[in-house]
């Protein structure tokens, strides 16, 4: 049997797909925000890299590893590595690194004031953006591709 789809039926299918997609945009963006949060944390904790792809390194003239004297000594005393900056001393800052969905916006960030203060201080110390998806390392492209793939999946393109 041959099924014939009329232009009106095809238009109605397309309209339904668009409405379905629009209703799912907040969930898709929230899921993309979670992927962004994971990528940023993995880049910093796993590789010690800033958003521009450079290694985070203390501006100190007498570093201990990649940290300044005071912080390097404290990390060594605690048995933590100084070979790369991972911004994990107590873990409290990263514990508050979350994706959140609000009524009018969705995003990634630190959900308490102390952690935001630490993050801003770290960006000042290292004089570079850290807590944003990296254009240079392809993180933004991966987020965009995730959203495109979700759209293709919903529209069955």
Mean pLDDT value of segment 147-153:
89
Query: Which residue's structure tokens are 């993180």?
Result: 139
Query: Which residue's structure tokens are 């629009």?
Result: 22
Give the pTM.
Answer: 0.84
Q: Could you report the per-residue pLDDT of 41-89, keeping only the tens digit for each?
A: 999 999 999 999 999 999 999 999 999 999 999 999 999 999 999 999 9
What span, in angstroms and rounded, lies between the C-alpha atoms of 30 and 28?
5
pLDDT band at 155 (very low <50, low <70, confident <90, very high): confident
């Amino acid at each position: 049997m041959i099924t014939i789809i009329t232009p009106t039926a095809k238009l109605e299918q397309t309209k339904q797909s668009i409405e379905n997609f629009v209703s799912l945009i907040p969930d898709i963006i929230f899921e993309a925000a979670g992927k962004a949060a994971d990528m940023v944390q993995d880049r910093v904790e796993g590789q010690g890299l800033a958003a521009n792809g450079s290694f985070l390194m203390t501006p100190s003239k007498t570093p201990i590893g990649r940290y300044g004297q005071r912080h390097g000594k404290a990390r060594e005393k605690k048995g933590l590595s100084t070979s790369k900056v991972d911004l994990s001393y107590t873990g409290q800052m990263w514990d508050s690194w979350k994706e959140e969905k609000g009524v009018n916006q969705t995003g990634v960030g630190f959900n308490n004031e102390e952690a935001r203060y630490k993050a801003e201080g770290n960006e000042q110390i290292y004089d570079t953006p850290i807590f944003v998806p990296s254009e240079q390392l392809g993180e933004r492209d991966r987020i965009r591709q995730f959203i495109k793939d979700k759209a293709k999946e919903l529209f069955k393109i």
